[in-house]
């Protein structure tokens, strides 16, 4: 069981296995016992819970998840680590190790359609697509506790006044809060940035009832195409229109055209989207960025 503070001997374990951290996969192994304890506290696991752990690595967190939950499905992209984890915890009947890419894995099949909680120490480069896959998919978790870059965590949990496309994307599906800041020294090898633990309590259904989520995010991305500008200008720039067109559009949505995009709430973005989708005000020009990524990291 994890208790108190201390350091886990990850480097020695890797050496004994003849392995090393793979930079190409963004591998940074957690070595801080106190940080592991914060993750477990945030997950609030019960004996009936199913957990999907993404990026289990050497299994230092996996062992404590197994002690608290009914079963754990560990998804590891690195085949060598997946094999080592399977061998190390072979006697654990409530563990399933899956060597797969968490960005594309079929989630419902992992858990046999059961409710589950997501726990993940994600590589920074894959944090956004992994979260998107789990939250937007047909079988989302009831709660997610994830380790991400601190700036990304702050963006996820931002309030109106500091919102971003990522804030809107995450908060459409759940309520995020930062549990703890995590220093670089908590990892081996040490990353170049500070991290944070984020807990997301996922809603039973999205906060907004949207018939076309991708179209909604196209409007949001257009609004944030120049976030330091007033909405009448940033929206015009993102949609390839003039402020003379976007000002009445914003007025019909009940939004002051002088406001900046980071000040809008989810409900205001929904109003703006519905007004934009009505009456053909934006014509064919409205989807200027059809291929851009709605979950782009800051």
Q: Domain of 131: which CATH number?
A: 3.40.50.150
CA 22 to each of CA 14, 123, 138: distance values in angstroms, whole numbers, following the listed order? 11, 11, 32
The angle subtended at Cα 269 by Cα 205 and Cα 280, nearest 5°, is 110
| Residue 221 and residue 189 in one domain | no
Instruction: Dump pLDDT digits (tens) for 15-68.
Output: 787 777 787 778 889 999 999 999 999 999 999 999 999 999 999 899 999 999
Taking the C-alpha atoms of residue 26 and residue 198, their distance in angstroms, rounded to an integer, is 19
Residues 6+ apart with CB under 8 A from 188: 10, 11, 21, 28, 29, 31
Q: Is residue 15 part of a domain?
A: yes
Nearest to 276 by CA among 236, 230, 226, 227: 236
pLDDT band at residue 239 under the 50/70/90 scheme: confident
Domains: count for the chain:
2
| Residue 125 and residue 189 in one domain | yes
Q: Is residue 26 part of a domain?
A: yes
| Residue 39 and residue 187 in one domain | yes
**Boundary (domain end) residue, out of 202, 233, 264:** 202
| Residue 18 and residue 145 in one domain | yes
pLDDT band at residue 280 under the 50/70/90 scheme: low
**Which secondary-structure segment (H or E) carries 127?**
helix 127-136
Order across the sheet with 143-149: list the strands. Answer: 95-99, 71-76, 50-54, 117-121, 143-149, 195-202, 174-182
Looking at residue 264, which CATH number applies to its domain? 1.10.8.100
Model pLDDT, residue 277: 87
The token pair at 143 is: 């709660």
Residues 81-99 as b/e (b if ≥16 CB within 10 A, e otherwise) read: bbebbbebbeebeebebbb
| Residue 263 and residue 154 in one domain | no
Three-state DSSP class for residue 222: helix
Taking the C-alpha atoms of residue 83 and residue 120, their distance in angstroms, rounded to an integer, is 19
Taking the C-alpha atoms of residue 268 and residue 254, their distance in angstroms, rounded to an integer, is 8
**Boundary (domain end) residue, out of 182, 202, 222:** 202
| Residue 218 and residue 197 in one domain | no
Q: Is residue 64 part of a domain?
A: yes
Taking the C-alpha atoms of residue 29 and residue 81, their distance in angstroms, rounded to an integer, is 12
| Residue 254 and residue 156 in one domain | no
**290 pLDDT more than 70:** no
| Residue 158 and residue 42 in one domain | yes
Q: Is residue 44 part of a domain?
A: yes
Domain range enclosing 70:
10-202
- The fraction of the chain above a pLDDT of 90, given in percent, is 74
**131 pLDDT more than 70:** yes
Q: Is residue 16 part of a domain?
A: yes
């Amino acid at each position: 069981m994890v208790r108190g503070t201390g350091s886990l001997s990850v480097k020695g374990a890797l050496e004994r296995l003849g392995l090393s951290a793979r930079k190409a996969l963004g591998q940074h192994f957690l070595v801080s016992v106190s940080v592991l304890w914060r993750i477990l506290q945030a997950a609030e696991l019960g004996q009936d819970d199913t957990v999907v752990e993404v990026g289990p690595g050497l299994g230092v967190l996996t062992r404590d998840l197994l002690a608290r939950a009914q079963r754990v499905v560990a998804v590891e992209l690195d085949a060598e680590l997946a094999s080592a984890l399977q061998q190390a915890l072979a006697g654990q009947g409530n563990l399933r190790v899956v060597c797969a890419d968490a960005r594309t894995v079929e989630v419902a099949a992992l858990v046999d359609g059961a409710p589950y909680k997501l726990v993940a120490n994600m590589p920074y480069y894959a944090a956004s697509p992994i979260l998107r896959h789990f939250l937007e998919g047909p079988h989302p978790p009831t709660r997610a506790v994830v380790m991400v870059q601190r700036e990304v965590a702050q963006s996820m949990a931002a309030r109106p006044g500091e919102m971003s496309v990522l804030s809107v994307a995450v908060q459409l599906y759940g309520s995020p809060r930062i549990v703890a800041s995590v220093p670089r020294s908590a990892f081996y090898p040490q990353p170049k940035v500070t991290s944070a633990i984020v807990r997301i309590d996922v809603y039973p259904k999205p906060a907004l009832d949207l018939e076309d989520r991708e179209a909604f995010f196209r409007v949001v991305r257009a609004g944030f195409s120049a976030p330091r500008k007033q909405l009448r200008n940033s929206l015009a720039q993102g949609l390839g229109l003039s402020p003379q067109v976007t000002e009445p559009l914003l007025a019909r949505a009940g939004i002051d055209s002088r406001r900046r995009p980071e000040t809008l709430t989810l409900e205001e973005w929904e109003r703006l989207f519905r007004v934009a989708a009505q009456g053909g005000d934006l014509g064919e020009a409205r989807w200027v960025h059809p291929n851009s990524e709605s979950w782009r990291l800051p």
